[in-house]
Structure 1
């Protein structure tokens, strides 16, 4: 038997070659898993490689040249990764599009990128792509992940693109694929990832192959997955966060279970029992609120939960310092684990080798909660413009309340006004066809201006304070960071979303999207009847309850950071209505536009009180 090839991950590598090396090392290992019609379908690395080669050859046969853009519009399926790797192999540039994108957004990306071929998840998204392209004749080819009526499927595309070729022509086509890969460079453009930020039109972030391979090497300094580790892929692959993590998982020969419908992630966690996963804070906050919901209204069970978290927390804090917990706490741990902590771990799909979080601010209380139940949460920091990782907490040297030190190979600095600056091998080359925006983002010394405010502690660990563009400057000249205030409020499960306002205004106000089930519980306890959610939000007693909770949660804040007026919102914050980004961050400017009249009414009420001589409450 020939010896297995030795392979060392290289920071300056090419993703297609990195994938081929993984196949050589363990082609029989499971690479992808997805549940279709109740049945799990698995694909080995060798099978995935064969499919990638076939799709790559079909793209070449279809006339896709090096540097041509190929769009992908769909949720997370193994086909998504296959198409991505096929583009890598032949030097095409993949252009991910969020499945939640509107027709206008799809049109903008197709027009701006110049993509002439698009792969779509299903007929619905195919119709959206065709509608977006129709007026300007933007597309030549639409291919489905799977075949459907009126939609050519990926397998058929791979077969029909080469159906008319004889053996010699097929060999020549395969040879062309290999020639393209042989000529490939780590400096080749891999992808255009259109930003999904909270403001402005999406810009195409240009990321090279080496941006992701350098990141994989940097993460490997802290993460060392075993061959039997497996990941759950449910954040959008259209976002650099999940995509970069998936490249890392592939490079290490681990399996990935895909979740096409992110709304099913809770049940998939329990069924799949992944040992690795990355998520945004919203999921973890939901786990905590669910745990507290289950004991709400039962003082005995509430005390048991608090006791369990206190015992688990004391033990874990001792372990973090390299000490054995005091006997008093250690003796209670088996019981509280059996009663409470193990059930929370089970809701997360069992123990985890790596549990990561990014994409939005994470409260330290969330880190401490999961630590107490025996799950170490690793927080990182990044942006699409850095593919995306700029800092992360190494599992063996983590520090809660921080995003960790800079990713190996990169540099962090703090600029004017506390702005976080970054440069490194995973930095974008710029924004597609937008040199002015590129110059505004990356200065002459190669530093990316992140727009986030923060500082480096004495150990070089990054602490985020807020988005600079979100800083509120009141009419009195007070600078206020809204996110820490919002995080305080969101610790209460009654609040689903909270948006603090006050820029160029005399004081702070608040828009609250309450959790309707929680609000209904409060109403039931108070004997308040209602026939619709709108009645709940209009009930003065319930509004007073919300106001009291806000006041209690924020009572320790300085006077100028106190909320003077609030309104409850009935409308959900979703991807579809444009109030959330794909990583579930609130689009603050969109909220301000959508609820402009409500906001104006709040400030009118404040002005009326002041004219009447009453103090703000």
Structure 2
């Protein structure tokens, strides 16, 4: 069978890119590949709990050990070898995070093959595109339902030879292939650091998905660097609740691979609707998350307190004020503040912490920068949230804050062996920032089947262009100021960076999602998706019988929301940045309807296409 791209050519490209970074081949500390990392970790932590899954019969989380997972990896690797999966072949999976996801990944790595994860909630066309583009030979899917959708592709895509199912028994089941492997055991092969480990397909917010070629050295060096930042805070007793999809490099590196350095355990969220119960059942100590998780909880807590009113609201506000003063002064405060802080800790903050399971001490968030007020709020109550910054193309972490190295408002300082420079030549507005460019062992080989785009994303001297704007302070902490692809210029020549404005808008309890638009226009407008649950509760409180969908389009409701949005932005943004008109949508922006990526970023192009006529009408009024 002919592959789309010769693996030898990509190996050569991998070595070329690594040599271009430092004019010599980068040496990565051992273990320098995911196979050795996995085998060393499962030997060291054999009896430790590794993965926890909700058992529907008992209603409790059922845990498997590092040793249990290693046994399954040995069997499944051997089963793949029985099907003639060899070095350089592509093994795909369509599944949410689960034990079998990790088993399939490490089994693939142990044959020198490349792993291609896909989202279970992705649309069919994207599955088809990735399977064809990656040249997938073996595909593992989570359910018979997905199998029935995918099955016709065997006749359309020449590379696709095998499709197996996790949640089934019989001829095409994963369990059967593991049984075959158990009878024909094959030893693992140790890949080189420069061998391709995985293709991570980008979300395609502005174009079709691109397959990011990441090596074993990329993943291991990045996971190790993150672990070292947190080595005083993560250990064998650390527990994570797996929320972010491992199909994205952030979830893979920061959680899955990092935890093999730690020796801790990971419980799987069942689904977003059960998140509150999963927190209580798993009791995570540390969380790998995105700001949206904390933003929603923050908004929910404040809305609940406002609804309660009276003494509870006064106690909440008094406790928060004391907690912030206590934290900012390292506990050196007057007796009255100490007393209010102690009362707040016992009566208020403990109840908030219980919503996270009662054991959570901190979290790293990526995908977007945390709002400073939200960060301060959780720090005040004793849950410290640290910003991390990176891209799929950088495996993904570039910078990270941590308890020892933390500067609020920044996204942290560079991880070990990673260099950052700011190229001011790419901006034309005389600012003190510029494009963030990166060098290090975490840089991708390139985009699969896209040599021209790969060439464009690297500078001539080997630095990766991130496409993000930022600046470094004197101590090396990085501050994100915008995204070059997302920024736009108003008719008056002023630049607008919409994501920061949007993050502040969605902190309002009655806003679910917001998107700012104004490219080449005289002013900004904002597309608003109200939080229907909050509107519904408000209507009940006011004894209004109007349906929520009609409330959203009520002129009075829209005027109120518009005023509140402008008021919330007034102290922080210039008048030209604050939206003057609004479009209200009753349809939420979700992954399922295509308006959000799997990491919950807005697909701006698609939103603009949907609302183009309404936006044009607003500007014509």
1:130 corresponds to which residue? Answer: 151
Whether the 8 Å CA contact 2:204–2:210 is kept in 1: the answer is no
Candidates 220, 244, 250, aligned match of 1:235? 244
- Structure 1 stretches of 4+ with a deviation exceeding 6 A read none
1:516 corresponds to which residue? Answer: 532
Residues 1:354 and 1:338: Cα distance change in structure 2 (over 3 Å): closer
1:459 corresponds to which residue? Answer: 475
Helix, strand or coil at the partner of 2:413: coil
Whether the 8 Å CA contact 2:512–2:588 is kept in 1: the answer is no
1:427 deviation in Å? 0.8
Q: Residue by residue, what CA displacement relative to the aligned partner does 1:215-272 show, whole Å, maximum 9, x if unpaired?
A: 1221122112221112211211101111112101022221111224233222111111
Helix, strand or coil at the partner of 1:486: helix
Cα distance in 1, alignment partners of residues 275 and 80 from structure 2 = 33
Cα distance in 2, alignment partners of residues 162 and 396 from structure 1 = 46
Candidates 405, 410, 413, aligned match of 1:397? 405
1:614 corresponds to which residue? Answer: none
1:186 deviation in Å? 1.3
Helix, strand or coil at the partner of 1:380: strand
Give yes or no for the alignment of 1:154 onto 2:177: no
Residues 1:316 and 1:134: Cα distance change in structure 2 (over 3 Å): farther
Whether the 8 Å CA contact 2:535–2:548 is kept in 1: the answer is no
Helix, strand or coil at the partner of 2:110: helix
Candidates 83, 104, 112, aligned match of 1:91? 112
Helix, strand or coil at the partner of 1:117: strand
Q: Residue by residue, what CA displacement relative to the aligned partner does 1:119-177 show, whole Å, maximum 9, x if unpaired?
A: 111112222322455434552211122325x77222211223676xxxxxx3xx52xx3
Give the structure-1-normalised TM-score. 0.90
Residues 1:136 and 1:69: Cα distance change in structure 2 (over 3 Å): closer
1:551 deviation in Å? 2.2
Helix, strand or coil at the partner of 2:363: strand
Unaligned stretches of 5+ residues in structure 2 = 1-27, 428-433
Helix, strand or coil at the partner of 1:379: strand
Helix, strand or coil at the partner of 2:525: strand
1:538 corresponds to which residue? Answer: 553
2:291 corresponds to which residue? Answer: 281
Residues 1:338 and 1:114: Cα distance change in structure 2 (over 3 Å): same
1:560 deviation in Å? 1.6
2:454 corresponds to which residue? Answer: 438
Give the structure-2-normalised TM-score. 0.90
Give yes or no for the alignment of 1:207 onto 2:226: no
1:615 corresponds to which residue? Answer: none
Residues 1:328 and 1:242: Cα distance change in structure 2 (over 3 Å): same
2:503 corresponds to which residue? Answer: 487
Cα distance in 2, alignment partners of residues 157 and 212 from structure 1 = 28
Q: Residue by residue, what CA displacement relative to the aligned partner does 1:364-407 show, whole Å, maximum 9, x if unpaired?
A: 01110110110111111011001100000122221111111001
- Indicate the larger mover: 452-461 or 364-373: 452-461
Residues 1:353 and 1:212: Cα distance change in structure 2 (over 3 Å): farther
How many residues are aligned here?
579
Cα distance in 2, alignment partners of residues 145 and 470 from structure 1 = 39
Cα distance in 2, alignment partners of residues 138 and 514 from structure 1 = 46
Unaligned stretches of 5+ residues in structure 1 = 1-8, 164-169, 606-617
Cα distance in 1, alignment partners of residues 350 and 382 from structure 2 = 8
Whether the 8 Å CA contact 2:369–2:411 is kept in 1: the answer is no
1:575 corresponds to which residue? Answer: 591
1:544 deviation in Å? 1.3
Cα distance in 2, alignment partners of residues 549 and 493 from structure 1 = 11
Whether the 8 Å CA contact 1:107–1:133 is kept in 2: the answer is no
Cα distance in 2, alignment partners of residues 453 and 472 from structure 1 = 13
2:9 corresponds to which residue? Answer: none
Whether the 8 Å CA contact 1:512–1:566 is kept in 2: the answer is yes
Q: Which residues of 2 match residues 575-594 of structure 1 at below 5 A?
A: 575-594=591-610
Whether the 8 Å CA contact 2:61–2:282 is kept in 1: the answer is no
Cα distance in 2, alignment partners of residues 482 and 534 from structure 1 = 27
Q: Residue by residue, what CA displacement relative to the aligned partner does 1:48-100 show, whole Å, maximum 9, x if unpaired?
A: 11110111111111010101000011111111001101011111100011111
Q: Residue by residue, what CA displacement relative to the aligned partner does 1:28-54 show, whole Å, maximum 9, x if unpaired?
A: 111211113134332111111111011
Q: Residue by residue, what CA displacement relative to the aligned partner does 1:469-505 show, whole Å, maximum 9, x if unpaired?
A: 1112112222111122222212211111111110011
Candidates 20, 25, 28, aligned match of 2:47? 28
Give yes or no for the alignment of 1:258 onto 2:268: yes
